[in-house]
Amino acid sequence: MLEIVVPLSLVIYALSALLTILRMALGPDIPDRILTLDALYVNAIALIILFGVYLGSTAFFEAALLIAMMGFVGTTAVCKYLLRGNIIE
Amino acid sequence: MLLSLILLPFIGSLLPLLAAHKGRTVCSWLTAAPPACALLLLLSTAPAVFQGELLTIRWDWIPALGLNIGFRLDGLAFLFALLILAIGLLVILYGHYYLSAKDSHGRFFSLLLLFMGAMMGVVTADNLLLMVVFWELTSLSSFLLIGFWGHRRDARRGARMALTVTGGGGLALLAGVMVIGHIVGSFELSDVLAAGDILREHHLYPVALVLVLLGVFTKSAQFPFHFWLPHAMSAPTPVSAYLHSATMVKAGVFLLARLYPALSGTELWFIMLSLVGLSTMTLGAVVALFKHDLKGLLAYSTISHLGLIVLLFGLDTQLAVVAALFHTVNHATFKASLFMSAGIVDHETGSRDIRLLSGLRHYMPITAALGLIAAAAMAGVPLMNGFLSTEMFLGEAIEQRVLGGWSWLIPAVAVFAKVFSVAYALRFIHSVFFGPKPGPLPKQPHEPPFFMRAPIVILVVLCLAVGMLPALIVGPLLSVAAASTTQTILPQYTLEIWHGFNLPLALSVLAMVLGVFLYSQRHRLFNLWNRLPPLSAPDVFEFILHSILVQGSRRITKLLESGHPQNYLLILFLFTIALAGAALLQLPSLHGGVSMTAIDFPSLAIAMTMIVAALGTAILHRNRLTALLFLSVVGLGVALVFARFSAPDLVLTQLSVEVVSIILLMLILFLLPRQNQRDSSVQRLWRDAVVAGVGGLSLGILTFAILTRPLDSISKFFLAESVSGGGGTNVVNVVLVDFRGFDTFGEITVLAIAAIGIFGLLDGMRLFNPRHLGHHYAKDRHPMLLSVLNMPLLPLALMVSLYIFMRGHNLPGGGFIAGLITAIALILQYLTNGLNWTNERLNDNFHPLVASGVMIAGLTAMGSWFFGMPLLTTAHTHVHLPVLGEIPLATAMVFDLGVYLTVVGATLVILENLGKLKPFTSQPTTEP
């Protein structure tokens, strides 16, 4: 079962990554684009974990952990910039 | 012993600085101690040197370049070393009284000793390259000493001029030495001196000679490079007495003597030296008479005497060499004492203007008497040392046949110059010390303290002693010095006061009579002189320097450095394309034979995402924020590519760097306008697009060609050696902290320097408020939701960071990544809670963190020395701890800790200071 599901999920997540970049290109607004980046980070977590499952290796899980933990920092910084201009005040 | 002779002044130059706060007297005593010891050491070698022995020591320094540390002490070096140390000591004594309480004693004496050491190096160096090094050091220390009173414009200008001229001459000398080394095949003095015939025959000989002589003429202030010396007189008088009359300007003379066996004996040598010497001697003597400044008079007189010595080297006899060395010693004694007398006059009256001074013998009779004797020696009055050497000079001048049928010109011009030299010596004495009492002076003149005068007494006694008992006092020294200069057996000569009535004596008497007459007619001459157009050497010099050199180099710089990154990138890309294209065109086929892996859809999707994002960045670059978002997509894509092709370490690094850079860019974007100006025309855009496209395509083809070829890389070695050699299974980390630990150490040092540099640039910087027109900012500075959600993240992130750090040696991770994670977690606190809140809870001085990181890494690296191992050798073992289990321990982990601390510190220093950077109005405008 996993032999089919994991590659299939990989393809689906890759497809969604393509769609997010399409959204980023289309915009139309800055918040749309920020959300797109955030969504792409989430997609990336899924891709990395699924790829690890597919290979049967745990070597990449820390990468997923790192994205989960810090991926939103970029989003936060951009949002803060939009809200207040100066992000460290 | 020879080494300590040279090292003593250098080591000693630290003493005055260390003792500066202990008071002037202690400082002066400590300054005098090293040269005194060196002088004793030197004198203890006298028996050997006078036997004609050559004392040498030698170590290899950079043998591949022919540069060795070697010193030699022969008669010539002994003579100059004696001058340097003995007069140096007297100058220190004099300087102690001369400097005022406002001047920094420590700095002055330290520089003086530095100069002394450099001078000792020049005269004793056994390797020509080493000598050039010391030669440059004399120029540099002279620059610092001339500019000692840096608050005065004339001092700064004089110092700059001296450095430019003598430094330029030093470069010429270096080139000359290189040519000599090329011809001889060695820079060792003994080889060069023995290769005189080879040198003279060689077709490059004129090049070498002219370059070396350029060095000599600039250093010894020969025409037309003489103009810097009078302006070097803005130095304190002890410096003028020491550097610019007794020693440094004699370095050129010394070099002539040193290289005499190697370079002399050709037509070119004689013509150049005699003509330059003759014109310098005459020019100096004539101008000296018209100088109203006491030190200016002495400066031109020094130029004149240096010309005389150079001229002597240009006369084709060995006795002329003896006379040259003799006059060098004599000039050093009487000129140093004259400078000191002038300094006393300046010190005690507040003026050096001869037109203001008069009748000072009423106030300072002893100084007047001493000055009188020294000036008499300068004028060449019998019974003084100056008389003997000028007699010898006149004798040689009459004998020589250098200029063929025009040879009579030399004695004729010599007498002419001597007339002027008698006149200016008279002026120095008569106008200052004799005549009616002076008008109002800045200070009431009086005798100086006894010990300030003591050096002059010693020097004047020497002038007299040498003048009356020459054979006894300087005879042996002179003969051994001259013998080691010419490297042959000298012809017979006698040093006597009385040679009978002969032509030189007659010429001397004639010159004196005419000189006295000239002096009596001086007012007419001054009137004549005043009609000459005024010319200021520094003005002319700086005009030339500015209009030609500075403007010229600005123009060239402008041509190369336009300030447009587009232009740089264009050149860079075109060049790379040409290089890669040329290489690619020679390949028989692009595909190298290694089969390709199959394309899978996820990889393709990631690649396409990155391509779209890259295009988006380029197209929307004028909207900075959007471009940055696209760029982040590219960064994430790269991380995914790393994951796809099994590089977990790189994934972690790329992700952390990505987050830090987005924070950094957001901080900077705040300070920039939101919209970028359109700054490229359409044609230019097309041009750049084509170049970029071709560049990217070539790179892709090149990568394809490389990857499809079988490649035998060095990674096998690291894979095999990682566990046994570095005690870790994570090869990437082992390479970073062990195999290539030195590189890593260099990199964290650079990181630390960059952090401090950025801090230095940003600290206290105020920027204009970026006008984000039409943008309404929110009022809530720190949304509570964000703060609350972020707080639990800190401990989590720190734990992950610790985990990544600990496992780094065996599994993906390590100090660099862990450092970035910690830094991000801390920066996030600044982001959500603000500067004040965070700094209350966190010590915001991150500099010690950076420093301790570099130090821990450095000390760990050096620790292996204590075990007799080379730098960065690591030890590793495994320990079993409760809870944590089996822990692999390697000293490399301590090194990694250094990396960690440096990364955390540097990142925080940079980001926090950028965050502190506030525009003039510290608050963004909020909607009322």
Judge whether A84 is closer than 8 Å to chain B, CB to CB: yes
Whole-number pLDDT of residue B310: 93
Written as one letter, the residue type at A8 is L
pLDDT one-digit tens code per residue, B148-169: 988 888 888 889 889 999 999 9
Per-residue pLDDT for B723 more than 50? yes
Q: Is the peptide bond before B440 cis (omega within 30 degrees of 0)?
A: no
H or E stretch at B879: strand B876-881
Question: Residue A76's Cα: distance from chain center in Å?
Answer: 14
Chain A residue with Cα closest to B623: A30
**pLDDT, tens digit, 9 for 90 and up, residues B29-74:** 888 889 999 999 999 988 888 888 888 888 888 888 888 888 999 8
Query: What gap in Å lies between CA B269 and CA B259, rounded to an integer?
Result: 12
**In sequence order, which residues have a C-beta less than 8 Å from that of residue B459 and are 6 or more positions away?**
B87, B90, B333, B334, B336, B337, B340, B374
Per-residue pLDDT at B774: 59
Tens digits of residue pLDDT in B655-714:
999 999 999 998 888 887 777 777 778 888 888 889 989 998 988 888 888 888 887 777
Please give the span between the terminal C-alpha atoms of chain A, in angstroms, as a whole number.
53
Q: Render pLDDT for B338-377 as a digit per residue (tens, 0 to 9).
A: 999 999 888 888 888 888 888 888 888 888 889 899 998 8
How far apart, in whole angstroms, are the C-alpha atoms of residue B549 and residue B179?
26
**Contact at 8 Å (CB) between B605 and A15?**
yes
Residue among B326, B194, B311, B317 nearest B256 (CA): B311
Q: With 70 as the cut, is the pLDDT of residue B888 above it?
A: no
* Tally of residues, chain B: 928
- What average pLDDT does the segment B621-638 reach? 90
Supply B420's token pair: 């002027």
Contact present, B373 and B466 (Cβ < 8 Å)? no
Chain centre to alpha carbon of residue B458: 36
DSSP secondary structure letter of residue B249: T
Q: What is the DSSP string of B561-628?
A: --S-HHHHHHHHHHHHHHHHHHHHHT-S-S--SPPPPPP-HHHHHHHHHHHHHHHHHHHTTTBHHHHH
Amino acid, res. B236: P
Domain boundaries, chain A: 2-84
B630/chain A closest Cα distance in angstroms: 8
Query: What number of residues does chain A have?
Result: 89
Q: How do strand B55-62 and strand B67-73 relate by DSSP bridges?
A: antiparallel
Q: Average pLDDT of B775-797?
A: 84
Q: What is d(CA B809, CA B852) in angstroms, rounded to the nearest whole number?
A: 21
Residue ranges per domain, chain B?
284-524, 728-928
Interface of B with A in 602-621 (CB under 8 A): 602, 604-606, 608-609, 612-613, 616
- B916–chain A Cβ distance below 8 A for any pair: yes
As a whole number of angstroms, the distance between CA B317 and CA B555 comes to 51
A46 touches chain B (CB under 8 A): no
**pLDDT > 80? residue B883:** no
Average pLDDT score over chain B: 86
Task: Give residues 653 to 672 of B whose Cβ lies within 8 Å of A.
Answer: 655-656, 658-659, 662-663, 666-667, 669-670
Q: Please give the structure tokens belonging to residue B772.
A: 């984000």
- Which residue of B lies nearest to A19 if distances are taken between CA atoms? B609
pLDDT of residue B118: 93
Which option is the CATH number for A2-84: 1.20.120, 3.40.50, 1.10.20, 1.10.287?
1.10.287
- Range ranked top by mean pLDDT from B13-22, B85-94, B544-553, B909-918: B85-94
Q: Dump pLDDT digits (tens) for B429-443.
A: 888 888 888 777 788
| Among B604, B651, B730, B801, the residue to mutate for chain A (most A Cβ within 10 A) | B651
pLDDT classification of B928: cutoffs 50, 70, 90: very low
How much is the pLDDT for B775? 65
Say if residue B770's pLDDT is above 80. Answer: no
- What mean pLDDT do residues B863-883 have? 72
Q: Does B787 score more than 80 pLDDT?
A: yes
Q: What is the pLDDT of residue B549?
A: 81
pLDDT per residue over B374-399, tens digit each?
Answer: 998 888 888 888 888 888 888 888 88
| Chain centre distance of CA B902 | 31
Q: Provide the percentage of residues in chain B whose pLDDT is more than 90.
A: 27
pLDDT at B925: 47
Q: Are B624 and B708 in contact (CB under 8 A)?
A: no
B171-223 pLDDT, tens per residue?
999 999 999 999 998 899 888 988 888 888 889 999 999 999 999 999 999 98
| Contact yes or no for B363/B433 (Cβ under 8 A) | no
What whole-number distance in Å separates Cα of residue B917 and Cα of residue A82? 18
Q: How many other C-beta atoms lie within 10 A of the C-beta of residue B353? A: 14
Which of B44, B33, B43, B45 minimizes the C-alpha distance to B8?
A: B33
Q: Residue B511 in contact with residue B355, Cβ under 8 Å?
A: no
Instruction: State the average pLDDT over residues B283-305.
Output: 90
Amino acid at B10: F
Token reading at B523: 């007012």
Contacts of B812 in chain A (CB under 8 A): 59, 62
> Chain A within 8 Å of B912 (Cβ-Cβ)?
yes
